[in-house]
Structure 1
Amino acid sequence: MNIEQLRQVPLFANLSEEQLQCVATLGTEVKREAGDQLANQGDPPDGFYIILEGQTEWFRNVEGEDVSAVTLETGDVFAELILLLDEPYPTSGRALTAVDLYKLTPDEFWKMLEICPGVMRSVLKIAAQRSQIHETVTQQQAKLMSLGTLSAGLAHELNNPASAVRRNVQTLETILQKLPILALKLHSSEMTQEQLTFLTELYQQLASAQTAVLDPLAQSEAEDTVSDWLEAHNIENSWKLAPTFVAAGLTVDRLTNIVDRIEPTCLSSTVTWLEATLTGTKLLEEIDLSSVRISELIKSMKDYSQMDQTPLQEIDIHEGIESTLTILKHKLKYGVAIEREYGDLPKIYAYGRELNQVWTNLIDNAVDAMNGKGELTIRTLREQNDVIVEIQDTGSGIPDEIRSASADISLRSRVFEPFFTTKGVGAGTGLGLDITRRIVAQRHHGDISFDSKPGETKFRIRLPIQQAR
């Protein structure tokens, strides 16, 4: 190996001639063409590399998205971190240009550090910087993807009531155009004041009545009965009118009562007017319910993000959990049954936004563990000066080698390490539980633990009621 090329590498700038000679005899030169794959995320370490010439790009797959992590070029090194930790590649790399590499096998890498102990400090510094880069990139991407998921879910939830409002407004507009004409027909017909009063009172009774909800079969049979009656009395579009009358509780007996009180020549106009007014009232009720739903969703999002409050505040644990469940409803409503076992909790002094992130991570993980179908139990209780929150799912559980009671304690603790995940490459960031642990332990001086077996995984969070202000 050309010593002069090695001398240009910043890592070896302070080595003596003898040390450079030794390093030059250890490794081998490797050449790669532009576009060649240098390493894949998840590959085991195969050596330590020095870029003598050229440029490379490194990216990390997070939840199926390739995120650029760092660009390394002439004079840079890579794979130092995974050799020190004996971990697989955290990123994938490819050559942007033709590259000339100097490779040291793992044994040769350790031999180099033995020959050149001064290099160790530089290698550790580079490794620390790379680790921070990887973590920052993954955290940012995880936050963006979490925000995207929450935004998509919220947009989906808002779309339903918003669409209902728009649809009902359009239908109501059509009805309002017809009502004046129908009202004029009624007033121009031969109706007494007594008959008009009867119709007004009938409408008010039907509009304010609370009718029982029928099952689909009973609803269909009732609509057929009303439709047959309307046809028998020569009322046009009986099949359109029947559903409204049944929903309002207008039975055949009450329709017969109308016939007894109204002139036959006015029956068609009366029935058509009555259906239009009842439909309009029903549409207004649905618009009101939809607008309330939109307001509730906005309030839940506001509560979730704590937008108008200081970070450290007195909060209600249950309100935060409920806001999180509302935000995640799009993931829960297709097969997750929620069981709430809430205790009598006092308000605690805490960081509301951050605790909502804890509930989000744990609930989201639980739903994924159950493949979107199962039972999610959220339990809260007070133990002396602490509050306890337990989030339990009926998923497959954490793998045996991690959850086993006889497992090495360090292996169990790895569940909360950065980048540690039991999911496949690209299927998880490995940061959700690390962020959760930091929020609980470092920010709130609490603790988090878990127990797991097939069909039951439970995370337990303990938080102090009082925090130092």
Structure 2
Amino acid sequence: MSGQQTPCDVAELGTLFLFEKLDDDQLDRLCREGRVELFEPGPVYTEGDPATCFYVLLEGTVVMSRRVGGDDVEISRTSQRGVYAGAMQAYLNGRNEEVYKGSVRVTEPSRFFVLPAEKFAAILRDWFPMAVHLLEGMFFGSQNTQRTIGQRERLLALGSLSAGLTHELNNPAAAAVRATSALRDRVAHMRQKLGVIASGPYARDTLETLVEIQERTAEQVAKATPLTPMEASDREDALGDWLDDHDIAGGWQLAPTFVQAGLDTDWLDQVAAAVDGPTLEGAVRWLNYTVETELLMNEIEDSTTRISHLVDAAKQYSQMDRAPYQVADVHELLDSTLMMLAGKMGSGIKVAKEYDRSLPRIPAYPGELNQVWTNLIDNAVSAMDGEGKLTVRTALDGDHVLVEFHDTGSGVPDEIRDRIFDPFFTTKPVGEGTGLGLDISWRIVANKHHGSLAVQSTPGDTRFQVRLPLTGSDTPAAPAAPDTPDTSEEST
């Protein structure tokens, strides 16, 4: 954009805090190589356009904004003379692609001193060569530092997840190993008992009846439903009494297995009716091995299924063998992240899911969204210090999907709420946090997904809210500023 050019007054430039230390020759050069322009209310320049000029406000009112999703969010509004914006990094001389990082407009007729970017760069290098070298070093050093620590942040997250995943895999794997060992023992005993039965005084029809009962017993084990502790105790007492009444030694050891399999005294009556009294104990113990075998096979199936689900969750989390940009279900991503972090949460933190399953799939970078979920969940877990409730909620919010992480932790103090998205800002002890988790999360949400990340917080009620557009593009958005934190209350 360009305005109406007006004369440049050296004396006026000298009154601005940016130029007050310059001598007359330097002020003359500014006036020769720059210009003064009058802008009517409206835009001065637009975010994302090539940064061609450096602007210094002489008089008027300027509004600076950043793009978040499809909206321009106002960052500041001022009438202070001397505020500057525009081609701030022209001194890099093309070593970094220079575009306007935000938009500037004026709300009333306003005058600016305007210096073309190439002139600005030449003046800085002529007058302040040492300062330019320092600025270049700081700029590229900061970029390298952020990149290096960003990689470190991802490695730390990966280490934490790996430890949690190892813990989660170890439990079902160990259970499967134990159950397999016990199963081998039970099968061996069942073979021995079968030999005893086969050589015993059982009639053919009795053996057929026993085999039929065995089949029905196996089916019953598969259909067994959990009992309350009180119900299980009462049934164990009843089965123990029945076994004692029928002179079967050690009935109290057999009763818990039968109860776990969903069997009762009616089932024992069927067994007693099928065999003679002297052979009843052998038949009951043989059926006990059948029950134990079925229960152990169920345990092995449950354990291996758990391992399979964990591996699937790890693949979902890492997006292994999948395109970086795809149409994804946010619930699948959330579930995989929660499963990966389950070991880190511990038993003191309860997780509640309040999903709107009617939400459509959205275009996204799933692997990077999983990193966002990881950072937000990890922060929530840290804030709750091992005890509390984490609620993960999804909902439709206009033309966006809302993903909210609500924790009952200590909250974000008012005095630091505006700083939590700043790079390297952390409240964790030295060595426990890089201060880049929320910064990286915000960049992924705002820059790559054209969405927003905001926080509402009071002690015991902190909500990080991610909003992602229902439609998108595979082209990352230009850098934008985080939403101003919203402290209003919202119920889940």
CA RMSD of aligned residues (A): 2.1
Give the CA deviation at 1:203.
2.1
Residue aligned with 1:270, SS: helix
Residue ranges of structure 1 left out of the alignment (5+ in a row): 1-115, 404-411
Counterpart residue number, 1:375:
389
Counterpart residue number, 1:159:
170
Q: Deviation per CA, 1:337-371, whole angstroms, max 9, x where unpaired? A: 22322222111111110011111111111111111
**1:304 aligned residue (306, 313, 317):** 317
Measured in 2, the distance between the counterparts of 1:377 and 1:151 equals: 24
**2:406 aligned residue (392, 405, 409):** 392
Pair 1:219 & 2:232 matched: yes
Aligned partner letter, 1:429: T
Residue aligned with 1:168, SS: helix
Counterpart residue number, 1:452:
457
Q: Is the 8 A contact 1:331 1:372 kept in 2?
A: no
Measured in 1, the distance between the counterparts of 2:384 and 2:433 equals: 15
| Equivalences, count | 345
Aligned partner letter, 1:126: G
Counterpart residue number, 2:469:
464
Q: Is the 8 A contact 1:244 1:275 kept in 2?
A: yes
Pair 1:423 & 2:428 matched: yes
**1:185 aligned residue (196, 218, 222):** 196
**2:129 aligned residue (112, 115, 118):** 118
Pair 1:432 & 2:432 matched: no
Give the CA deviation at 1:236.
4.1
Measured in 1, the distance between the counterparts of 2:466 and 2:263 equals: 55
Residue aligned with 1:379, SS: strand
Identity within the alignment, %: 45
Aligned partner letter, 2:416: I
Measured in 2, the distance between the counterparts of 1:249 and 1:361 equals: 44
Measured in 1, the distance between the counterparts of 2:324 and 2:179 equals: 41
**1:150 aligned residue (143, 147, 161):** 161
Counterpart residue number, 1:322:
335
Residue aligned with 1:391, SS: strand
Q: Is the 8 A contact 2:401 2:468 kept in 1?
A: yes
Q: Deviation per CA, 1:53-82, whole angstroms, max 9, x where unpaired? A: xxxxxxxxxxxxxxxxxxxxxxxxxxxxxx
Give the CA deviation at 1:419.
0.2
**1:356 aligned residue (370, 390, 400):** 370
Pair 1:253–1:310, CA change in 2 (3 A):
closer
1:15-414 to structure 2, matched below 5 A, reads: 117-209=128-220, 210-343=223-356, 344-403=358-417, 412=418, 414=419
Give the CA deviation at 1:296.
0.7
Measured in 2, the distance between the counterparts of 1:315 and 1:259 equals: 59
Pair 1:259–1:341, CA change in 2 (3 A):
closer
Measured in 2, the distance between the counterparts of 1:291 and 1:177 equals: 23
Q: Is the 8 A contact 2:403 2:465 kept in 1?
A: yes
Measured in 2, the distance between the counterparts of 1:224 and 1:250 equals: 13
Aligned partner letter, 2:256: P
Give the CA deviation at 1:240.
3.0
Q: Is the 8 A contact 1:206 1:249 kept in 2?
A: no
Measured in 2, the distance between the counterparts of 1:457 and 1:253 equals: 55
Q: Is the 8 A contact 2:364 2:472 kept in 1?
A: yes
Measured in 1, the distance between the counterparts of 2:168 and 2:431 equals: 28
Residue aligned with 2:320, SS: coil
Give the CA deviation at 1:212.
4.1
Residue ranges of structure 2 left out of the alignment (5+ in a row): 1-126, 475-492
Q: Is the 8 A contact 1:229 1:252 kept in 2?
A: yes
Measured in 1, the distance between the counterparts of 2:216 and 2:184 equals: 24
Residue aligned with 2:420, SS: helix
Measured in 1, the distance between the counterparts of 2:164 and 2:132 equals: 48
Give the CA deviation at 1:333.
4.3
Give the CA deviation at 1:171.
0.8
TM-score, with length taken from structure 1: 0.69
TM-score, with length taken from structure 2: 0.66
Q: Deviation per CA, 1:405-446, whole angstroms, max 9, x where unpaired? A: xxxxxxx1x221110112233332100001001101111111
Counterpart residue number, 1:101:
none
Residue aligned with 1:416, SS: coil
Q: Deviation per CA, 1:117-173, whole angstroms, max 9, x where unpaired? A: 432122223333443443344223222221111011111111111111111111111
Residue aligned with 1:195, SS: helix
Q: Is the 8 A contact 2:405 2:463 kept in 1?
A: yes
